[in-house]
């Protein structure tokens, strides 16, 4: 007799397979914008300090094509930078930028690292793609040493232009209702966002996951139309209204 899995489990499995196929598509963008990657790298470099005080291990979890790590590498000279992703295609591209790349997942067995083995985790534009962000932060917290640094970046649901779009009844930028096409919002690329955060929600979520938030900054979004980019850069002075949220937290 064949036993069928519960309906909820079958649905979750189908969703994961669909998302895996989606992210293995080379046409799906996996790179962060250069400006936000640089700001995040500077935050990480300031938190770690120079390698003269001892080389630190930094995991770029969800490294994609390695562009964020490539931006960070010159600022992290002497530290050990390891790219981690479950997409084989992404890892092949990342290897051109990062000396060490390892296939790993935040779910289904966890990351291939010992507990407390990392000094910092770079988590750049990943959390918005996850079905289970709670378990992801649990796993990141496991691999970080006590006091270790989490550098997380994610699009801001409450970005200055999204507030105006919602008032006009338009779907916010960064939000998606389909993996096949854009519906009801500006933009042309489908990138697979499942979760969106405001500054307040992100702080509360990370704090509830066993981290102490050390700082929150804003970064611009490369997809903003050129005439509006000066305004987008100005909005970074108020992180709660910026395009991208850059959060620094420490493992408690």
pLDDT band at 1 (very low <50, low <70, confident <90, very high): very low
Annotate 9-30 with DSSP letters as a single string. Answer: HHHHHHHHHHHHHHHT-TTS--
- With a pLDDT cut of 70, the percent of the chain lying above it is 87
pLDDT, tens digit (0-9, with 9 covering 90-100), for 114-125: 999 999 999 999
Average pLDDT of the residues of the chain: 89
Q: What is the pLDDT of residues 6-24, one digit of tens each?
A: 444 444 444 455 666 666 6
Segment 83-134, tens digit of pLDDT: 999 888 889 999 988 889 999 999 888 999 999 999 999 999 999 999 999 9
**pLDDT at residue 109, as a whole number:** 83
Structure token digits, residue 113: 């690292």
Tell me the whole-structure pTM to 2 decimals. Answer: 0.88
Q: What gap in Å lies between CA 174 and CA 190, rounded to an integer?
A: 9
Please write the tens of the pLDDT for every residue from 36-73.
999 999 999 999 999 998 999 999 999 999 988 899 99
Task: Work out the number of other CB atoms within 10 angstroms of the CB of residue 14.
Answer: 10
């Amino acid at each position: 007799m064949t036993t069928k899995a519960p309906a909820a489990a079958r649905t979750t499995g189908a969703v994961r397979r669909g998302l895996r196929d989606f992210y293995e598509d080379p046409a799906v963008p996996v790179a962060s914008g250069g400006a936000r990657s640089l700001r995040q790298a500077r935050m990480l470099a300031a938190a770690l300090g120079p390698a003269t005080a001892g080389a630190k291990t930094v995991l770029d979890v969800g490294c994609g094509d390695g562009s964020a790590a490539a931006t960070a590498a010159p600022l992290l000279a002497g530290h050990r930078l390891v790219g981690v992703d479950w997409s084989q295609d992404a890892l092949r591209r990342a290897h051109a930028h990062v000396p060490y790349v390892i296939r790993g997942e935040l779910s289904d067995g966890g990351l291939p690292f010992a507990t407390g083995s990392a000094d910092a985790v770079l988590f750049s534009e990943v959390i918005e793609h996850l079905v289970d962000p709670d378990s992801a932060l649990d796993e990141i917290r496991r691999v970080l040493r006590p006091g270790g640094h989490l550098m997380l970046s994610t699009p801001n649901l409450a970005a200055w232009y999204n507030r105006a779009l919602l008032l006009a009844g338009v779907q916010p930028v960064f939000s998606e209702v389909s993996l096949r096409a854009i519906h009801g919002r500006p933009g042309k690329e489908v990138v697979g966002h499942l979760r969106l955060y405001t500054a307040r929600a992100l702080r509360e979520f990370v704090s509830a996951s066993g981290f102490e938030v050390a700082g929150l900054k804003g970064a611009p979004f490369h997809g903003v139309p050129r005439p509006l980019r000066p305004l987008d850069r100005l909005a970074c002075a108020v992180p709660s209204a910026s395009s991208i949220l850059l959060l620094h937290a420490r493992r408690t």
